[in-house]
Amino acid sequence: MSQGVAPNEGAAEIAAHHGQNVLEIIDLRTHFFTQVGVVRAVDGVSYSVRAGETLGVVGESGCGKSVTALSVLRLVASPPGRIVGGAIRFGGSNLLDLSESEMEAIRGNEISMIFQEPMTSLNPLMTVGHQIGEAIALHQGLSANDAMDRAVEMLRRVSIPEPERRVHAYPHQLSGGMRQRVMIAMALSCNPKVLIADEPTTALDVTIQAQILELMRELQETFGTAIMLITHDMGVVAENADRVVVMYAGRKVEEADAKTLFEAPGHPYTRGLLGSIPKLDVAARLDAHRNRLTEIKGMVPSLHNLPKGCTFAPRCEFATGQCHAAYPPLVQYRPGHTIACWHAERLLAVPL
């Protein structure tokens, strides 16, 4: 029973390569061909995930952050979706060139994913032990008994009380937080190099969210897994990510280390986003009159009818003629700090 989930035998190797890219997304284009036209959900996005780090990917609904993740695992529903361009480099190959069976050997094994709503991603007719064991048996060729022992061990790793008993439970018998722990146990059961977490705590209460985020930090330290943390919650990113990618309307608009992104952001969208969130410590200080939040006027453009030029320009207070005429290139303004804005240099000079 003590198969022992040894911390990834590659953990030392990962540590030695800490900071090297394990996953590279290059100029990815994922479009949806619908009756109302082509929806450019992801339109030329590039970013990399480095060994052992947590990369935060933030943006509002429809910005393409989840579609990017699904594209990495080639899980975009087709039709209507199709990856129409770009490359995804992982372990020396381009995932977009692999056959379906080659992809199956990677999914849930070398790259795994956890989703927002664990109830819809767990099979309600199978015990959680069976579901965790299934992935282990498939990818690691263990017998059913050994796989079940390993499942118990994984449940213990994610701090589920009485794992020997809970391994026989069905998903509906567990609370939301417990189900998300099961999802994490399943995702980490094969020691993946990359874990994609898509809004992993959005459906949970804050005290449970704090438990799950702490668990993810602990497991990352033990296993050395690189985490791609996709979320709309800037607070979750600020407290967990090493680096951050900000997306807007299908494109990456800014990328920086977490400290820079939160203390000296350059893109007007990032700055607007940070200004529009009520902050607990500030809110408590406000007098009876309460300050107004900084608004980003208007709304996200529809993806099949994007404005010409910079897609953020219609909502941007700094927009000029140049912005409405042409989309700005992504430029590295400081080491590791990339921004797609014609006025970035000027904005960087102004403190937040």
Partner 1 sequence: MTGPAATATPGNGVQPLVEVRDLKKHFPILKGVFARPAGMVYAVDGVSFHIDPGETLGLVGESGCGKSTVGRTLLKLLEPTAGQIIIRGEDITGHDQGQMLPYRRQMQMIYQDPYASLNPRMSAGEIVGEPFAIHRIADGAERRDRVAALFERVGLRPELMNAYPHEFSGGQRQRIGIARALALNPELVVGDEPVSALDVSIQAQIINLLMDLQDEFKLSYLFVAHDLAVVEHLSHRVAVMYLGRIVELTDKTSLFDMPLHPYTEALLSAVPIPKYSARSRERVILRGDVPSPINPPAGCHFHERCPYAHARCREEAPALREVVPGHFAACHLHDSGVKFPLEKPAAANGA
Q: Which stretch binds partner 1 (CB under 8 A): 41-49, 79-87, 291-299, 322-330?
A: 291-299
Q: Which is nearer to partner 1, 181 or 193 (CB)?
A: 181
SS3 172: helix
* Helix, strand and coil percent figures for the chain, each rounded to 5: 40, 25, 40
Q: Does 182 bind partner 1 (CB under 8 A)?
A: no
Q: Does 177 bind partner 1 (CB under 8 A)?
A: yes
Cβ 118 to partner 1 shortest distance, Å: 14
Q: Does 265 bind partner 1 (CB under 8 A)?
A: no
Instruction: Kindly tell me which residue out of 233, 307, 330, 331 binds partner 1, with binding defined by CB under 8 A.
Output: 233
CB 111 within 8 A of CB 23: yes
Instruction: Kindly tell me which residue out of 108, 272, 309, 328 binds partner 1, with binding defined by CB under 8 A.
Output: 272
CB 340 within 8 A of CB 267: yes
Q: Does 162 bind partner 1 (CB under 8 A)?
A: no
Q: Does 266 bind partner 1 (CB under 8 A)?
A: no
Q: Which is nearer to partner 1, 93 or 294 (CB)?
A: 294
Burial of 86-102, coded b for 16+ CB within 10 Å and e otherwise, reads bbbbbeeeebbebeeee
Instruction: Kindly tell me which residue out of 19, 80, 91, 235 binds partner 1, with binding defined by CB under 8 A.
Output: 235
Cβ 90 to partner 1 shortest distance, Å: 29
**Using CB under 8 A, which residues numbered 60 to 119 contact partner 1?**
60-61
Instruction: Kindly tell me which residue out of 175, 320, 322, 332 binds partner 1, with binding defined by CB under 8 A.
Output: 175
What is the rounded distance in angstroms from the CA atom of residue 27 to the CA atom of residue 311? 18
Q: Does 296 bind partner 1 (CB under 8 A)?
A: yes
Q: Which stretch binds partner 1 (CB under 8 A): 20-28, 112-120, 296-304, 321-329?
A: 296-304
CB 19 within 8 A of CB 10: no
Angle at 188 between CA 173 and CA 119, to 5 degrees: 30
What is the rounded distance in angstroms from the CA atom of residue 220 to the CA atom of residue 12? 13
Cβ 284 to partner 1 shortest distance, Å: 3
In sequence order, which residues have a C-beta less than 8 Å from that of residue 157 and are 6 or more positions away?
A: 5, 185, 188, 219
Most distant pair of Cα atoms in the chain: their distance: 68
Cβ 147 to partner 1 shortest distance, Å: 28
Instruction: Kindly tell me which residue out of 186, 234, 310, 344 binds partner 1, with binding defined by CB under 8 A.
Output: 234
How many residues belong to the site for partner 1 (CB under 8 A)? 52
What is the rounded distance in angstroms from the CA atom of residue 76 to the CA atom of residue 125? 25
Instruction: Kindly tell me which residue out of 120, 123, 145, 294 binds partner 1, with binding defined by CB under 8 A.
Output: 294
What is the rounded distance in angstroms from the CA atom of residue 249 to the CA atom of residue 45? 11
Cβ 233 to partner 1 shortest distance, Å: 7
The edge-to-edge listing of strands for the beta sheet with 251-257 is: 111-114, 194-198, 226-231, 54-58, 243-248, 251-257, 337-339, 331-334
What is the rounded distance in angstroms from the CA atom of residue 208 to the CA atom of residue 325? 47
How far is C-alpha 78 from the geometric centre of its chain's CA atoms? 22
Q: Does 242 bind partner 1 (CB under 8 A)?
A: no
Q: Does 301 bind partner 1 (CB under 8 A)?
A: no
Q: Does 277 bind partner 1 (CB under 8 A)?
A: yes
> One-letter amino acid identity for 144?
A
**Using CB under 8 A, which residues numbered 207 to 226 contact partner 1?**
207-211, 213-214
Q: Does 144 bind partner 1 (CB under 8 A)?
A: no
> One-letter amino acid identity for 62?
G
Q: Does 36 bind partner 1 (CB under 8 A)?
A: no
Contact residues for partner 1, defined by CB under 8 A? 60-61, 175, 177-178, 205-211, 213-214, 232-240, 258-259, 261-263, 272-281, 283-286, 288, 290, 292-297, 299-300
